[in-house]
Structure 1
Amino acid sequence: MGSVARARFDGGLDRLSSLIERFRVTAVIAPAGIAQVPTANFFVFRNGGETRRLVFVPKRSETDPCCRAEMRGDGEAVEVSAFIGISGAGDHLVEALPKCISVPLADAPYLEAAVMPLIEEVTDPRCGGQAVFHRLCEVVVIRLLRHALECGAADVGLLAGLAHPRLAPVLVALHEEPDGQWALERMAETGGMSRTQFALTFKDVVGTTPGVYLSNWRLEIARAELEGGSPVKIVARMCGFSSAAAFSRAFSRRYGHAPKLERRKVA
C-alpha cells in the first residue's frame, strides 16, 4: 500500500476514497408509506410541489425519540423508503455519523441530482430496477458523506477529524497505509504538530487516542478480509501486525473470538 495520500482530481486531499473502498453498501427498497417506516432507515419525503427532504438513520432505533422526530413531517408524503446498510470496514464510519441525518434537498443540489434517479426507479419500476437502485444508493451514500463532511455534521468523531485541517492528512494516511509503522512521532509529523499537541488534538476531536483509532481501523479491515476468505497470516501482515499471534490476541480482545473462528463462521 502506498504511503502518499491520494489527491482529488483538482489536486486537493481526498478525505473519503480510502474509506469508501473499504466498505460495502447494500440497499433494499421498502414499500413507500408510513406503515413501513419501522423497517427502513432511508427516506425521501416530498412536501407539496418539488420540495423534498432526505432522511437517513444509519443506526436505526425504533425507540429513539430523536429518530422518530426526524421522520415524516406534516404534509409530507413518502416517495422513497428503503433499508441501506453499510458493511465491511465501515462500522466506525457509521458510528461517526449523526443518529439522524435530515437534508432539505434544495440546500444540497449535488445530493439532489443523485436522489432524483432513485425516485424514478421507485415510481416507474422497470426490469433490473433493484440492481439500479442498489448502485444509485452507493452514489447517494457517498454524496451524503460529502455533505456531512462539508457541513460539519459532527463535533467529535471521524467526520470531525476529517474536517480538521491538521488531522485530515493523518487520518487519510492511516486509512491508506494500515500496515505502516505508525509511531506517534510519525503521525504528529504528518499533521505538522508536536507529539503533545497532536495527541491532545486527536483525542479532543476524534474522541479516542491515535493508537486506539489505528488499532480499531486495522481490526475492522482484518475482519472484512477474513469475511472475504483471506488467510489469517496474510491478513495479519496486511494490517500491520508483527505476527499472526499478536494479531490473534488483538482480534480476540476486540471481537471475543479468534480470527480462525471468523473465517469458519463465514464458511
Structure 2
Amino acid sequence: MDRLSALLMRLDFSADTFFEGAFCGRSHFPAQPGIGHLHLVRQGPAAFTHDDGTRLQVEQPALIFYPRPLAHGLDTSAGTARLLCATVRLAGDDAVIDSLPSCLHVPLAQAPAMDGVLGLLFDEAQYGGMGQKLVLNRLCDVLIVQLLRHALAGKLISAARLFGLSEPALAKALAAMHDHPGRPWAVASLATLCGMSRSRFARQFHAVIGCPPAEYLTGQRMLRAQALLRQGRLVQDVALEVGYGSQPAFTRAFRACTRLSPRDWLAQAGPAGPVGGRLAQGDS
C-alpha cells in the first residue's frame, strides 16, 4: 500500500455537498470545529477573503480546499460564478491534519489528471437522479484524494512533514523542529525525544523523510524565516529567532536554500505571500 493510501485510511474524512449552481453575491463560512470546506469554481470570477487580510481572486476554473476550520468569505458580486461547495469533515491525527496548508488553491488547468472525476461530478450535478447527493459526496471524496496527490507531486504540500508526522516513532522530533526551529537541536537530543539511540534515529529519519535531520531542520528554519520576513521583521532579528548567531551566517544559509539573499527574496515574494501557494524552497 502506498503512503498516501495508508495515511488516509487512518483519517476519517467525508464531504457533504450543500450547493451546486449559479451564484451571485456574498457568503461567509465561519470556522467550525472539525469542519473544512471544498469549493469547486467551475466558472468565475470569485474572490475568497480571510480574516488575516489575504484575498484569493479566482478567474479561471479551480479547486479551493480548506482542510481544517478557517473562516472565509466568498464574493461573486463582480459577476455570476458557477460553483459546487461542500463541507469536509476531517478527523484523526491532529498533527497530520495541522501539517496541511490552511488553504490550497489548484487551477483545474494545472491538474489534468482530475478531468475524469470532474467530468463525472459535472454530469451528476446536471443530470443526476435519485441518490444524487450521495453520488456527489462520494465523488468529492475521490476529488480530495486526487487533490492531495496533485499537491504532493507539485510540492504544494510537504511530503516529508505530512508522512513524517504520521510515523509515531518520529512524530515528537518532527513536531519539535516544526514548533521551535530556532532551538539548537542536535541529533542526540532529537533521538532522545523519540526514545532511540542516535544512530538508529538518524537511519530511520533518513529512510522515512529522505534527508538527514540537520537538513530538514534548515528547511524548517527557512520556512519560518520567510514568514517573518513577510511580516516586516528586520533581517538581523529574523536570524536570531530562527537559530543563527549572526546575520551573515543566516544570509549564507538562506542564499544556499533559495539562491537569493533575504532582501532579494522578499523583493520577489512581496510582503504578503500567495494564499495556498507553493511551499518555500528549502522545504524538505
- Give the 3-state SS of the residue equivalent to 2:129 in structure 1: coil
Q: Pick from 172, 185, 200: which aligns with 1:186? A: 200
Q: Which has more strand, going by share of residues?
A: 2
Per-residue deviation, 1:105: 0.6
Q: How do 1:2-151 residues align onto structure 2 when only pairs under 5 Å count? A: 6=1, 14-32=2-20, 33=23, 34=25, 38=29, 41-47=37-43, 52-62=61-71, 67-68=72-73, 74-75=78-79, 77-89=81-93, 91-151=94-154
Q: Which runs of 5+ in 2 are unaligned?
A: 31-35, 45-59, 172-193, 222-284
Per-residue deviation, 1:203: 3.5
Q: Deviations over 1:215-258 (max 9, x none)?
A: xxxxxxxxxxxxxxxxxxxxxxxxxxxxxxxxxxxxxxxxxxxx
The one-letter amino acid paired with 2:40 is V
After TM superposition, the score normalised by the length of structure 2 is 0.49
> Is 1:174 aligned to residue 167 of structure 2?
yes
> Is 1:199 aligned to residue 199 of structure 2?
no
Q: Go from structure 1 to structure 2 and tell me whether the alpha carbon gap of 1:87 and 1:73 turns closer, same or farther (over 3 Å shift).
A: farther
| Paired position in structure 2 for 1:213 | none
Per-residue deviation, 1:149: 1.0
- Give the 3-state SS of the residue equivalent to 2:167 in structure 1: helix
Count of residue pairs the alignment pairs up: 173
Once residues 73 and 60 of structure 1 are traced to their aligned partners in structure 2, the CA distance between those partners, rounded to angstroms, is 24
Once residues 206 and 170 of structure 2 are traced to their aligned partners in structure 1, the CA distance between those partners, rounded to angstroms, is 18
Q: Are 1:45 and 1:72, in contact at CA under 8 Å, matched by a contact in 2?
A: no
Q: Which has more helix, going by share of residues?
A: 1
| Paired position in structure 2 for 1:219 | none
Per-residue deviation, 1:160: 4.7
